[in-house]
Amino acid sequence: MHLLHQRGPLHDLPDTPEAYDAVLADVTGQALARLTPDGSLEHPDCTDDIGDTSLGVTSLLALAWQRTGDPRLPAAVRRSLAFHLRERVYREDNPGYPNLRVRDSGLPYARYVLEAGAHPIGDWPSTVWALLQAVDLLDTADGLVDEEQRAELLEVARGYWRWLTEATFFNPQEAGNQALGCVVGGLMLARHLPPRDAEPVRARALALYTEEIRARRVRDRGALLPPEHGGAYDNNYGPISLSFLAQAHRVSGEEVFAQDGDALARYIDARLTGGGFDNGGPRYSEQHSGFESVLGLRYFSRRIGSDLGRYRGDTRWGRYAVKADGGVDGHFAWMLVWQIQDTTRWQRTPSPSFRRHQLRAGAVSVAFDDRMTPALVEAGGTYYLPAAVGRQHGFGPVADGFLLCRPMGAVRVRDVRADGLTAKLVTKPVVGRDHVLRHVRSLYVTDGTSLWTTVAVERLDGTPYLLAGLPYAEDDGDRVRRTARGAVVSAGTLRLTHPDAQGPDHFDARAEVTQEQAAFVLAADPRGYGDPDEGWKHLVSSTALEAGPVPDAPDDLHVFAVRYGSREPLTVSVGHGEEGLTVRTAAFTAVLGDDDAHGEPRLTLRGA
């Protein structure tokens, strides 16, 4: 089975002016055929996330007219705008909406579902989206709509802003992308107001960013990130937040948006595999956005000098939101407008800089979590997740059922390049069930094709093994396919085990179920509201690669060595020398020296 949402790298989509004109021509053709007598441009199958969709298509038609002067478009824009202003602007409180601060304000808002009282919780983001569609249309409406209609649209946009910032609690879903969208809406709205009215709106937008978003950032992997539905990052909404930061910087010029976008972009770059696969987040653990991410990934790829566009998006949404039949849906249309207006070009080559939470070269990459334990390994076109044993998750030595990967003290890292090889040495103190402090040294070396991992730890009792990952997915052309195998060999024994027990807290990679689906089953709240990452923490056991110790290691150590990305036999020799612990393979020799005067690990590497 294929993963549904992770498809092609987003920077592979053509983004020339000619390509975008073809996209707008496609939208124009669909819209003119769909336009109803009352002016609606909504997709016939649209029921939720509907409050902004007709206006979104209208804004795309306005942009198309601005670029091409198509004589068919002015009448369509005026009719569809009149429809939104007449039929999709609500001023009476939605029954059951829980987040109002002011009752019966009479301020306009947009509904997530048109029926009164039906799923009102979505009205806040729907109003943000409607505000953004409105300000986009205001940007392109000169000469296209008459002054009376434009004035009414501006009045509604001001009302949307007031409803979002006065009548309701700000950002009630604790969703960074929604909150950032509201800030961008205020910044863009201010540009259409007279100076006396504009400055308070702009100041309020900047204050909301500073006090309600920036002050609440969450730390993960050394970065401060806008919180997303209660978590630090979401692999669907996180890149969307990056697009909002890009637009905020474009329209305001405020350096804080560029700085915070750079930080988020470097974080995304570090956690992404070279192949663009990623998973994790408090809402949609494996879903990926498409066109909604392009602006941010492209804008900041150029700023930080790295190929963020390798991110595998849902290319069915590569240009605009669509329904099941492939027909255009105006939801999030402003992102297409902004990316067409922005002239930044993709950075398509990796950054040469070392990243603490990443090892990457060629077709091999390792993304590390906060504990500097691999969160995702890519080699040979296969992606490995942390395996689970006894409710413990990660990569590392296991002794008597206890996984030694959680640090008890400072984690040190040393990065080295030499002779076409890239290496990272991670040292961490860990404590086992016996309360003995041990130092785990994990060496990762890659030539861009294979990944060698060598783990050394003070001698363990019993019959320890290395928990070496859960083979989960593999590249299949422009898709990603579920798998339960991978090209992995060990210098000791190697076995691929599957859970003996059955049930939702035991993940068997041979089953036709995704990590996202399994994680939502374990989450406390329903799908779409629960935190799948939190649910996944309840996993008891999983399919796992288990590697035995290297033969003939020094008597005081257990050493484990595996190679990902090749099935060729692996021979590793390990021994103490004058300079430190020496690891030899057919491809390289590495010396793990004593710590320096600051307690930092030493690593020497040379090719064979």
Per-residue pLDDT of 166-220, as tens digits, reads 999 999 999 999 999 999 999 999 999 999 999 999 999 999 999 999 999 999 9
Residues near 393 by beta carbon (within 8 Å), at least 6 away in sequence:
386, 387, 403, 536, 537, 539
* Chain segment 503-558, per-residue pLDDT in tens: 999 999 999 999 999 999 999 999 888 899 999 999 999 999 999 999 999 999 99
Q: What pLDDT is stored for residue 478 in this prediction?
A: 87
Which string of DSSP letters, residue by residue, matches 171-224?
A: STT-BHHHHHHHHHHHHHHHTTS-HHHHHHHHHHHHHHIIIIIGGG-EEETTEE
13 φ, ψ to 5°? -75, 130
Q: What pLDDT is stored for residue 367 in this prediction?
A: 98
Give the Cα-Cα-Cα angle 586, 461, 575 (nearest 5 degrees).
30
Contact criterion met (CB below 8 Å) for 433 and 421? no
Q: Cα separation of 118 and 130, whole Å?
A: 18
Exposed/middle/buried for residue 148 (C-beta within 10 Å: 0-12, 13-18, 19+): exposed
Q: What pLDDT is stored for residue 530 in this prediction?
A: 86
Question: Taking the alpha carbons of 470, 476, 481, 485 in that order, is the dihedral positive or negative?
Answer: negative
- Give the burial string for 422-449 (b: 16+ CB within 10 Å, else e): bbbbbbbebebeeeeebebbbbbbbbbe
CA-nearest of 360, 386, 367 to 539 is 386
* Chain segment 145-172, per-residue pLDDT in tens: 999 999 999 999 999 999 999 999 999 9
Q: What pLDDT is stored for residue 223 in this prediction?
A: 96
Q: Which tokens hold the place of 244?
A: 């909002």
Average pLDDT value for residue range 451-474: 97
Q: Cα separation of 483 and 205, whole Å?
A: 46
Q: What pLDDT is stored for residue 102 in this prediction?
A: 97
Computed over every residue of the chain, the mean pLDDT equals 96
Match 């080699």 to its residue by tokens: 379
Over 90: is that where the pLDDT of 10 sits?
Answer: yes
400: amino acid identity, one letter: D
- Cross-strand partners of 465: 398
Average pLDDT value for residue range 246-267: 98
* Chain segment 268-310, per-residue pLDDT in tens: 999 999 999 999 999 999 999 999 999 999 999 999 999 999 9
Residues near 80 by beta carbon (within 8 Å), at least 6 away in sequence:
31, 35, 39, 40, 41, 54, 55, 57, 58, 61
Confidence of residue 456 (pLDDT cuts 50, 70, 90): very high
Over 90: is that where the pLDDT of 35 sits?
Answer: yes
Confidence of residue 331 (pLDDT cuts 50, 70, 90): very high
Q: What pLDDT is stored for residue 50 in this prediction?
A: 97
Confidence of residue 608 (pLDDT cuts 50, 70, 90): confident
If residue 414 lies in a helix (H) or strand (E), which one and from where to where?
strand 412-418
Q: Cα separation of 131 and 165, whole Å?
A: 12
Contact criterion met (CB below 8 Å) for 493 and 429? no
CA-nearest of 441, 376, 434, 360 to 407 is 441
Give me the torsion for CA of 367, 368, 373, 377, rounded to 10°. 0
Q: What pLDDT is stored for residue 111 in this prediction?
A: 98
Q: What pLDDT is stored for residue 256 in this prediction?
A: 98
Which string of DSSP letters, residue by residue, matches 282-344?
A: SS-SS---SHHHHHHHHHHHHHHTS-GGGSB--GGGSSS-B-TTS-B--TTHHHHHHHHH---
Q: What pLDDT is stored for residue 263 in this prediction?
A: 97
Over 90: is that where the pLDDT of 242 sits?
Answer: yes
Q: What pLDDT is stored for residue 528 in this prediction?
A: 83
* Chain segment 63-98, per-residue pLDDT in tens: 999 999 999 999 999 999 999 999 999 999 999 999
* Chain segment 385-416, per-residue pLDDT in tens: 999 999 999 999 999 999 999 999 999 999 99
If residue 416 lies in a helix (H) or strand (E), which one and from where to where?
strand 412-418
Assign 258 to helix, strand or coil: helix
Q: What pLDDT is stored for residue 529 in this prediction?
A: 85
Q: What pLDDT is stored for residue 338 in this prediction?
A: 98
Terminal-residue alpha carbon distance, the chain: 40
Q: Cα separation of 396 and 514, whole Å?
A: 24
Q: What pLDDT is stored for residue 194 in this prediction?
A: 96
Q: What pLDDT is stored for residue 113 in this prediction?
A: 97
pTM, rounded to two decimals:
0.97
- Give the burial string for 261-277 (b: 16+ CB within 10 Å, else e): bebbbbbbbbbbbbbbb
Contact criterion met (CB below 8 Å) for 215 and 207? no
267: amino acid identity, one letter: Y
Q: Which tokens hold the place of 250?
A: 């474009």
382: amino acid identity, one letter: T
Give the Cα-Cα-Cα angle 380, 385, 387 (nearest 5 degrees).
125
- Give the burial string for 84-116 (b: 16+ CB within 10 Å, else e): bbeebbbeebbeebeebeeeebebbbbbbbbee
Q: Which tokens hold the place of 249?
A: 């910087």
Q: What pLDDT is stored for residue 593 in this prediction?
A: 95
Average pLDDT value for residue range 327-347: 97
170 φ, ψ to 5°? -75, 135
Q: Which tokens hold the place of 89?
A: 């602007």
* Long-range contact set of residues 358-361: C-beta below 8 Å, sequence gap at least 24: 358/269, 358/270, 358/271, 359/415, 359/422, 359/423, 359/424, 359/444, 359/446, 360/274, 360/422, 361/422, 361/446, 361/447, 361/448
CA-nearest of 509, 500, 585, 574 to 544 is 509
